[in-house]
Amino acid sequence: MTDRTVRIIHPFHPLCGQSIDVVSRGKHWGEDRVIYRASDGRLPSIAAAFTDMDPPAAFDRIAAGRAAFRTVDLLGLCDLIDQFLKRAGSGDE
């Protein structure tokens, strides 16, 4: 037990705003995750990024809630859409 409590801050997580008791933190399924003790005694995990465990990233500090997406992520999405449209328009099935 780490004796550390953190708050879930991801706005779409059902436990947003609640504090959790951290048991451990580590890489699980290739992702930085926090294992915590639930009220029923189970040990679920949550992405560390969904908590206030780490200080906010530079983007989050500067955006201050005014931007939902980073430019690099939107550009990546545009690339994926372009690839999809090219495949859909090629007639190859």
Q: Cα dihedral sign for 47, 50, 56, 60? A: positive
pLDDT band at 70 (very low <50, low <70, confident <90, very high): confident
4-7 and 31-37 beta bridge pairing: unpaired
What is the percent of the chain where pLDDT is above 70?
Answer: 95
pLDDT in tens, 27-63: 988 899 999 999 899 999 999 989 999 887 788 788 8
Helices (H), 1-93: 58-63, 71-90
Q: Residue 92: is its pLDDT beyond 70?
A: no
| Position with higher pLDDT, 93 vs 53 | 53
pTM of the model: 0.60
> Which fold would CATH assign to domain 1-54?
SH3 type barrels. (2.30.30)
C-alpha angle 25-11-23 in degrees, rounded to nearest 5 = 20
Please, which pLDDT band fits residue 80 given cuts at 50, 70 and 90? very high
The 3-state DSSP class for residue 22 equals: strand
For the chain, which residues make up each domain, given as ranges?
1-54, 57-93
pLDDT at 76: 95
pLDDT tier at 91, thresholds 50, 70, 90 = low
CA distances from 11 to 5, 15, 42, 57, 91 (A): 18, 9, 23, 16, 40
Give the up-direction half-sphere exposure of residue 46: CA atoms within 13 A in the CB hemisphere.
26
